[in-house]
Amino acid sequence: MRNIPIPVDTHRLRFTCVKAARPRVIDQDSGKIKTDKDGNKVYESVLLAEDELGRIELVKVGTSGEPPIAPGQDVVPTSMVGYVWEIPSNGTTRWGISYKAASIVPVSGRPGGGDDA
């Protein structure tokens, strides 16, 4: 399968951080952490994505380096793309879409917090 990045129009969605970023573990036995082509750790954040009609989905979004976000914060993923993947398993094929963003930043522009009133 050819892996072509599919751009995501994030301007039509509202994102909220549901779970803080954690390093992506690629081998549970050894605890090996995934790295990008430059050797930076890849982090996964769980975000709630809501569209204009109020439909929601939970998505895991990978970034190179730890994003400065906290649960409950409205966030903006930049340059987000999706990749279709498939894995043959016991005569069937599992598939899905993985998401990656150049960065994920708080809407407030301040890491880990809301507005100062």
- Give 35-82 pLDDT, tens digit per residue: 999 999 999 999 999 999 999 999 999 999 999 999 999 999 999 999
- Closest CA relative to residue 104, chosen from 77, 73, 70, 66: 77
CA angle at 55 for the pair 58 and 95, rounded to the nearest 5°: 45
Q: How many CA atoms lie within 13 A of 65 on its CB side?
A: 7
Q: Which amino acid, 21? A: A
At 12 the three-state DSSP class reads helix
Residue 101 CB partners (closer than 8 Å, separation 6+): 61, 62, 63, 77, 78, 79, 80, 81
Among residues of the chain, what percentage have pLDDT more than 90? 74
On whether the CB atoms of residues 66 and 21 are closer than 8 A, the answer is: yes
- How confident is the model at residue 3, as a pLDDT? 78
- How confident is the model at residue 1, as a pLDDT? 56
The CB density around residue 81, as the number of other CB atoms within 10 Å, is: 16
Task: Scan for tokens 């880990």, then name that residue.
Answer: 112
Per-residue pLDDT reduced to its tens digit, 15-38: 999 998 999 999 889 999 999 999
